[in-house]
Amino acid sequence: MSDKKQAFNPYLPSWEYIPDGEPYVFGDRVYVYGSHDLYNGYAFCLGDYVCYSAPVDNLGDWRYEGVIYERIKDPLNVRNNMCLYAPDVTVGPDGRYYLYYVLDRVSVVSVAVCDTPAGKYEFYGYVHYEDGTLLGEREEDEPQFDPGVLTEGDITYLYTGFCARGDKSRHGAMCTVLDKDMLTVLKAPVFVAPGVEYEDGTGYEGHAFFEAPSIRKVGRLYYLIYSSTLMHELCYAVSDRPDGGFEYGGCIVSNTDMGIDSYKEADRAVAYGGNNHGSIVRIGKEWYIFYHRQTNGTWYSRQGCAERIDIEEDGSIKQVMMTSCGLNGGPLKGEGEYPAYIACNLYKKDMEIIVDEKQPRIMQDGRDGDENPGYIANMSDSSTAGFKSFDCSNVSAIVIRARGYITGEFEIRDELDGPVIGRTGRVEHSTVWEPYTAQVKPLNGVHDIYVTYRGEGKACIESIEFIAG
């Protein structure tokens, strides 16, 4: 396509905060469903559900589908005082689209329905036993949380659960079988993956189920994607049946890049992490993992990202590193200007892993809903932003656009701990974006770019630009 756009991470506009992404291909478009954080929000999931979609052959061209479900539509939330936590969608036996979700202060599963993937969903009912008792309200039930759904024929498999360390009342991820009405329980919940308090001897040690169960079928195998006890990673377990037998497979992605040892030590974090939630999807001939990252120095303004993965013949999935090019199908062009918010690495010396307001961060000006582009802020001495990857042709300079009450310089590297290949020279106090140029040895082929601030004050970076010549 002549108008095909490059795809970045995050894949949605920089002022949009849609975590917990559940991607699906319906027709010739890929749709992403998730919860809805607010910029500068004070808690998780404060917004109504919205949806975005993109053509399967142009994954840089995302379209806003609008609000698909308002939280006040749930009869339990007529006061509008509860949030919509992470949802999932499945196509029922009748061809309609069913949206499963849990409100933040109840332990039952709600369902809404729509005739189209991204239309206006209407409340449909609550998952319940044959006697009418709601799932989650029987004495032996464990609280329902983070529903994931898969429909095969006339039955739907519902996966739920949340297991915090120290809570022995929560045993693990649960699978409940539903009838063709999408609400009535045919088979009561069974545990399919252990929580941290019950991980010993299971093969899940160190990566036990925490939350965010999502289910996909690949060939004859069922993949249970979930957030582990470490929170920052999305792991998978595999079975040849949907209601049990899942064996731990490994980590697919971490929003700190811990576990990746190709360009650093495996236990070294190069981004500030927090909770994670997402799933896998096949788009065209390629498989991708959708996940999210934390921004703004808080837990509560998360953005969706995606990476290409390989599913091997034996069913295994190797962990992939975070990139700036995600859905692009390969490196970005090493030419022109790129917004700084596509940095996939953001860290400083002696960092803590879990995100907080003292660290360098992605942010924006204005309030939630203001379509102001994101940028990197709060970069104190040693703070580094990493961008992956660019296909360069005779790049001789890199321009950093920055502002802030600062005195120092920016260093450029093309390896994480490699030698400095360019410096901008002195950068000084400015309340507007100013360009600072670093001459570099000619860059040809695929390169990663790392920008480190050295100096006083806290710098902000708006963009990086590649200059050839």
Query: How many domains does the chain divide into?
Result: 2
Q: Which two tokens stand for residue 151?
A: 């429909």
pLDDT at residue number 357: 85
Do 300 and 368 have their domain in common?
no
Do 309 and 359 have their domain in common?
no
Instruction: DSSP for 199-253, please give it.
Output: -TTTT-TTS-EEEEEEEEEETTEEEEEEEETTSSEEEEEEESSTTS--EEEEEEE
The verdict on residue 140 lying in a domain is: yes
Long-range contacts of 122-125 (CB under 8 A, 24+ apart): 122/73, 123/73, 123/74, 123/75, 124/98, 124/182, 124/183, 125/183
Do 281 and 256 have their domain in common?
yes
The verdict on residue 1 lying in a domain is: no
Do 311 and 401 have their domain in common?
no
- The one-letter amino acid code at 327 reads L
Q: Which of 287, 308, 328 is the last residue of a domain?
A: 328
Do 304 and 339 have their domain in common?
no
Domain enclosing residue 262, as ranges: 22-328
Do 112 and 201 have their domain in common?
yes
pLDDT at residue number 61: 98
Rounded distance between C-alpha atoms, residue 207 and residue 164, angstroms: 12
Rounded distance between C-alpha atoms, residue 397 and residue 465, angstroms: 8
20 counts as catalytic: yes
Q: Which of 300, 328, 356 is the last residue of a domain?
A: 328
Rounded distance between C-alpha atoms, residue 159 and residue 243, angstroms: 9
Q: What is the CATH number of the domain that holds 430?
A: 2.60.120.260
Do 276 and 368 have their domain in common?
no
CB 291 within 8 A of CB 265: no
Q: Which of 287, 311, 328 is the last residue of a domain?
A: 328
Q: What is the pLDDT along the chain (469 residues), one digit of tens a residue?
A: 457 899 999 999 999 999 999 999 999 999 999 999 999 999 999 999 999 999 999 999 999 999 999 999 999 999 999 999 999 999 999 999 999 999 999 999 999 999 999 999 999 999 999 999 999 999 999 999 999 999 999 999 999 999 999 999 999 999 999 999 999 999 999 999 999 999 999 999 999 999 999 999 999 999 999 999 999 999 999 999 999 999 999 999 999 999 999 999 999 999 999 999 999 999 999 999 999 999 999 999 999 999 999 999 999 999 999 999 999 999 999 999 999 999 999 999 988 888 888 899 999 999 999 999 999 999 999 999 999 999 999 999 999 999 999 999 999 999 999 999 999 999 999 999 999 999 999 999 999 999 999 999 999 999 999 999 8
Rounded distance between C-alpha atoms, residue 104 and residue 86, angstroms: 10
340 φ/ψ angles, rounded to the nearest 5 degrees: -70, -20
User: Catalytic one among 16, 20, 233, 411?
Assistant: 20
pLDDT at residue number 352: 85
pLDDT at residue number 1: 41
Rounded distance between C-alpha atoms, residue 419 and residue 190, angstroms: 54
Do 301 and 364 have their domain in common?
no
The verdict on residue 303 lying in a domain is: yes
Q: What is the CATH number of the domain that holds 314?
A: 2.115.10.20
The verdict on residue 3 lying in a domain is: no
pTM of the entire predicted model:
0.98
Do 322 and 388 have their domain in common?
no
Do 309 and 348 have their domain in common?
no
**Share in percent of the chain as helix, strand, coil (round to 5):** 5, 50, 50
Do 323 and 339 have their domain in common?
no
User: Catalytic one among 16, 142, 199, 211?
Assistant: 211
Burial classification of residue 67, based on how many CB atoms lie within 10 Å of its CB (0-12 exposed, 13-18 middle, 19 or more buried): middle
Burial 83-113 (b: 16+ CB within 10 A, else e): bbbbbbbbebeeeebbbbbbbbebbbbbbbb
The verdict on residue 8 lying in a domain is: no
Enumerate the β-bridge partners of residue 225: 214, 236
Q: Which two tokens stand for residue 133?
A: 């008792």
- The one-letter amino acid code at 58 reads N
